[in-house]
Structure 1
C-alpha cells in the first residue's frame, strides 16, 4: 500500500484556550479582520475579542447558514478596503468556510462565483487564518475544503485548495456550550458521517482510518448526551474532540455518497447540511456493506453493520432529526431531479458505484 498524509494546521485544543488568542496573534503582522456570526455579536464574544486583541480592526457578520458567493464577495471588498493582513474566523462551518475562501480570493480579479464548481486555478497568495470553531461537527478548521452556495444558479459546491488550510485551529469546547440543540444534533451527526464516509471512501488510508474510528466512538457515546444535556461540559469537550478528529479523518480520503446527496437536499428543500447527510448515511451503510465496513462497525462497538445502522436511526429519533421526506410531497418529476442532482463528484469516492436505480430506490423509501 502507498499513501500520503499531510496536515499543516497547528492545533490548540482544550477548555479555555480562547484566552490564548492574544499570544497567538503576536506571530501575525498588521491588522486583522474578525469574521463571525451575528450570534457572536449578540452574546458579547466578538466584543471580548476586540477588547483583548487590538490588532483586530474590523468585523464581517453578514453570513447565512449556507454562505452565498455574494456574501463572500462583500467580505472580500471589506478585506481590500481595510487592507487586512490576517483573518480570525469565529463560528461554525459557514463562517470558517467563507473565511477560507475570502482569504485567498481577495487576491483574485475574478468574481467568487467564477470559482464555484469550475476547477479554475485559485491565486497562490493567501492571508493567514486562525480558525476558532464554535460548533462540534464540520471539522473545517483542519481541512482544505470550503463549501459555498450560488443561490442565483441553485448551486452548492465545495472548493478545494491547499490554500484553505488554516494556519491555526484554536478549539475551545467552552465555546460550544450555547449552541442550540438542533445545531448540536446536525453538526454532531455531520461529523459522524465524515468519519464513516472517510473510512469507506476509495481514498481511505491507515492514518485516517484510525482517526475515523476514534471520532465515531466518541460520537456514538457522547452526542445524544450532549443534545439532552447542553451544559454538560465533559460531553461538549468529547464532541469537540470528535469533530476535530473527524475533520482529520476525512480531509484526505474525502466524503462520498451521503455528502453528495446532501447538496440537492439542502439546495432544493432547505434541509440543514448535517441533517441532510444523516438522512442517508444508514441507507448507504447497507449499500456499502463489506468486510471492511463490518470491521469498522465492530471497532466502534457494534456486532454488525445492521446494529450500527439501527443505532444511527435511534440517534436521529432521539434528537428529533429528519428520518424521511414525506412532508415535502415530492412528485415523480421532483424525484427524477433529485436523483439527477445527486450525481455530485463526491459520489465517485464511494466504494460501490451508485446508480440511478440505487438512488431512486433510496429516495422512494423516504417519500
Structure 2
C-alpha cells in the first residue's frame, strides 16, 4: 500500500486558495466578479490574452458586457504566444502601467494566465522587469489582483501559485512560485473548451497527467497529493478517449477540466520534478513545441527512472492506464512501456528526434536543466538522485 511510503512525522502544507467557479455556465459569474472588483476600486484593468481563443471560445461575449455594465475600463493586450516570453510580459506591463491598471484579467490557457500573473507582480514593483522576475533577482510578496478565465483542461495554473515564462536569448524557461500570484477568482467552464483541437485536447490532458505523476512521487508528496493523483488519472483515462471521439461532449470536458484542476492543486502542494524540469529546456529551445507533447515524450523515460523508488504509489495511481502492476521495483520497464502504449492510444507517439532534436542536443539540454533558474530546485524534489547522468539518460531514452 502506498500509505507505507508516507512519513507521518513530516509536516506538509495543504494548499487550496483560489476561489474557482466550476461548471457549465460558470463564465456567467464574470458579472459578479466584475461587480465586486468595481466595489473594491479595481475599475481599470488590463486584459491579457492570446491572439484568438478569447473570441473563438465565446468567452469575450460575456466578459466585455460584464466590464461595461460595471463601469470597468480596460486595455487589451492580445499578443501572448504559446511559451510566452519576458519581452511579451514587459510589453504588456508597460501598457498596463501607462493605463493605470489596478488589476489583471487573463483569458486563455497556461500561457496567457502565466503572463498575466507576471504582469500582476510587475504592476506592484514599478522598478522591476520580467527578466529580473524570472532570474529570481527579487522575491515578490505582492501583486495586483488576478482573475483567470481558463480555456484549457491542462495547466492548473488558474488555481496555483506558479507561472512560467521564457527568456529567449538564454534558452531559459524558468518557473516562479509565489503566494501573491494565486488568482483571486478563476472560472473553469467546460463549454469554453469544446473547440479545442484533438491534438491540443490530448496535450493538455497529458500535462495534467504529468502534474500528478510528479506531485505524488516527489519528496514532499502527501496523502492529499496521492489521492488527488489517483482521481486525476482515473478521470483522464475514462474521459480523454470520449473527448477525442466527441469533442463537444460537455460531460467529458467537465471531468477532464476537473482532473486538470485537482492536478494543479496537487502539484501546488507536492511540487514537480523530472518531466517538467526536463521539458522546460525542450520548449525553451524550440518554442513551437507544445508543452504537453514535450512532457508526453519524456514521461515513459521518467517513469522508468522513478518507479523503483515509488512502486506502491505509481502502481495504484497508474492502474487505470497500466493495469496489473504489482507495486514492486522490478516492474519499472513494464510500467514505462505501459505508459508509452497508453500515450500512443492518445495519439502521442513522437520522440525527441521526431521533434527535430539531434543527439548532440542532449548535452545542451542537460546543461539547461541545471542552469535554468528554478529547475534545479525541481530536480531536487525527485524521489531518486537527479544528477547529470540520470538527466542525460532520460533525454537519451526519450530520443
Which TM bucket (shorter chain)? over 0.9
| Superposition map of 1:304-315 within 5 A | 304=325, 308-315=335-342
Instruction: Please say if 1:338 is aligned against 2:351.
Output: no
Q: C-alpha distance in 2, partners of 1:351/1:201?
A: 6
Q: CA 1:63–1:328 in 2, change beyond 3 Å: closer, same or farther?
A: closer
1:354 maps to: 386
Q: C-alpha distance in 2, partners of 1:205/1:308?
A: 22
Instruction: Please say if 1:265 is aligned against 2:282.
Output: yes
2:303 maps to: 285
Deviation at residue 303 of structure 1 after TM alignment:
2.1
Deviation at residue 80 of structure 1 after TM alignment:
1.3
Deviation at residue 116 of structure 1 after TM alignment:
1.3
Deviation at residue 127 of structure 1 after TM alignment:
1.3
Q: C-alpha distance in 2, partners of 1:207/1:165?
A: 19
**After the TM superposition, which parts of structure 1 deviate over 4 Å for at least 4 consecutive aligned residues?**
305-308, 328-332
2:216 maps to: 199
2:74 maps to: 57
Q: CA 1:329–1:132 in 2, change beyond 3 Å: closer, same or farther?
A: closer
2:346 maps to: 319
Contact 2:229-2:317 at 8 Å conserved across structures: no
Q: CA 1:342–1:228 in 2, change beyond 3 Å: closer, same or farther?
A: farther
1:33 maps to: 46
Deviation at residue 322 of structure 1 after TM alignment:
4.3
Instruction: Please say if 1:365 is aligned against 2:397.
Output: yes
Q: C-alpha distance in 1, partners of 2:244/2:99?
A: 40
CA RMSD, 1 decimal = 2.0
Q: CA 1:202–1:248 in 2, change beyond 3 Å: closer, same or farther?
A: same
2:25 maps to: 16
SS of residue in 1 equivalent to 2:269: coil
Deviation at residue 173 of structure 1 after TM alignment:
0.8
Q: C-alpha distance in 1, partners of 2:291/2:54?
A: 24
Most deviating of 113-122 and 183-192: 113-122
Determine which of 300, 303, 314 is the counterpart of 2:324. 303
1:307-327 superposed Cα distances (whole Å, 9 cap, x missing partner): 654443223223332431233
2:262 maps to: 245
Q: CA 1:56–1:233 in 2, change beyond 3 Å: closer, same or farther?
A: farther
Most deviating of 39-48 and 49-58: 39-48
TM-score for both structures, normalised by structure 1 = 0.93
**Structure 2: gaps spanning 5 or more residues:** 1-8, 326-331
Most deviating of 319-328 and 180-189: 319-328
2:328 maps to: none
Greater length-normalized contact order (CA 8 Å, ≥ 6 residues apart): 2
SS of residue in 2 equivalent to 1:127: coil
TM-score for both structures, normalised by structure 2 = 0.86
Q: C-alpha distance in 2, partners of 1:264/1:321?
A: 19
